[in-house]
Chain A
Amino acid sequence: MCLAVPMKVVKREGERGVVELEGVSRDVALHFVDAQVGEYVLIHAGFAIQKIDEQSALDTIQLFREMLAAGAIEQPEELQPEDRGSP
């Protein structure tokens, strides 16, 4: 029910617009976001509920990778007692 999907704005006219994903397009309500054509929004129940921050999307993946690097722990098959705790 909280199903929401990232889609790209391809048309905006006031509070209404058209969004698209993989060749599928839909009319949606844009009351809650100031997204413009070319930007990505999260669509839920026919409304855009938030703009997707592209930089954040890229940053988050990078952050997750860094988290791994900071962990700097060999991936054990099972838990090794000496390796407990955070770095």
Chain B
Amino acid sequence: MDADDKIILAHGSGGKLTRNLVNEGFLAKFPDPVLAELDDSARVQVGSNRICFTTDSYVVKPLFFPGSDIGKLAVYGTVNDLAVMGAEPLYISCALIIEEGLERSVLDRVTDSMAEACQTAGVSLVTGDTKVVESGGADQLFINTSGVGLLPDGRDLGIDKISPGDRVIISGTIGDHAIAVLAARQDLGLKLSGLKSDCAPLNNLISDVLERFDGVRFMRDPTRGGLATVLCEMAETARVSVSIWEEKVPVRDEVRGTCEILGFDPLYLANEGKVVMVVDGGIADEVRNALRGDDLGKDAEVIGEIGADNPGEVVLRTAVGGSRLITMLAGDQLPRIC
């Protein structure tokens, strides 16, 4: 009696079920080595250029929430998927699936937000598509964006570059986006003061670091599934162990409080303006300081290190001196978060 014969919500959560579906349902049918890398973007050769190419769909509910909206999210999410590969984001596409009956003013608010986001991120929207479906066919609005960026010569980040002795950095507080979206949903009866989604374009923050430092091995933005999922993917794919110091992981008080109330773990909550970096141990503190010089990285911390014992294992050294595993989530903490 398992989840295999019907798709359930948990298949979309970014955790184990998603991975199983991707491995068995998709990779098996599309045996392309680039696809198999399952990176945030695909790295492909086009003529003499290496480009990165990515796609994402946005189904966040509600459409507008503190600090952001589905449109801004759709632009920055794709920009970030390119940026974490080390690419310079250049062009994006946008396909809209609109539910019949959506207020035109709502659509305009979203597209205005997207236009502003493109400006801020420095990308151009060059192609698009519009579909309208009957009432009930889509929940108000779904957006897909795809993006391409240029990868400079010699830039070769990769999960396989992670090795023992490296350190793990997070560019700021975790869980802000998920909790902001959650608070905006009426059904939980929660009111939050002051907390906003961290939705932001990371391309400048990242390129500054990549230009200043050699020794950045790998980056990923911890969206669905959160920081924990990225760490588990790293440990498993790179066949290393990851050790995280609980006290070093930055979490805002409001996020911590809401998590306490609802029984969530901030490690698994989605972020839309943060990046996890794995860097050579020797430069970790400097990279963190460099990140802190930017508004988007002001709470950056070195949170852990890579080891060789027990490959595949992610261990949390707890704030009270214990140790426990960090594992992949089977199902969903929060659906429709991005």
B residues contacting A by CB (< 8 A) are 183, 189-195, 253-254, 256-258, 260-261, 263
Q: Contacts A26-B189, A26-B190, A27-B189 known; A21 to B195 CB distance under 8 Å?
A: no
Q: Closest chain B residue to A22 by CB distance?
A: B257
B195 near A5 (CB under 8 angstroms)? no
A22-B258, A24-B191, A43-B261 are known; give 11 further A-B pairs, CB within 8 A: A7-B261, A22-B257, A23-B193, A23-B194, A23-B195, A23-B253, A24-B190, A24-B192, A24-B193, A24-B261, A26-B190
Interface size on A, as a range, is 10 to 19
Looking at chain A's contact residues, is the secondary structure mostly helix, strand, loop, or mixed? strand
Query: Counting CB contacts under 8 A, is A67 at the interface?
Result: no
CB of A34, distance to nearest CB on chain B (Å): 22
29 pairs, A vs B, C-beta closer than 8 Å: A3-B263, A5-B260, A7-B261, A21-B257, A21-B260, A21-B261, A22-B253, A22-B254, A22-B256, A22-B257, A22-B258, A23-B192, A23-B193, A23-B195, A23-B254, A24-B183, A24-B190, A24-B191, A24-B192, A24-B254, A24-B257, A24-B258, A25-B190, A25-B191, A25-B192, A25-B193, A26-B190, A26-B191, A27-B189
Residues in chain B near residue A25, CB distance under 8 A = 190-193
A19-35 Cβ-contact flags toward B at 8 Å (1 or 0): 00111111100000000
Residues in chain A near residue B254, CB distance under 8 A = 22-24
Residues in chain A near residue B192, CB distance under 8 A = 23-25
Q: How far apart sit A82 and B286, CA to CA, in the bound complex (Å)? A: 50
A43-59 Cβ-contact flags toward B at 8 Å (1 or 0): 10010000000000000
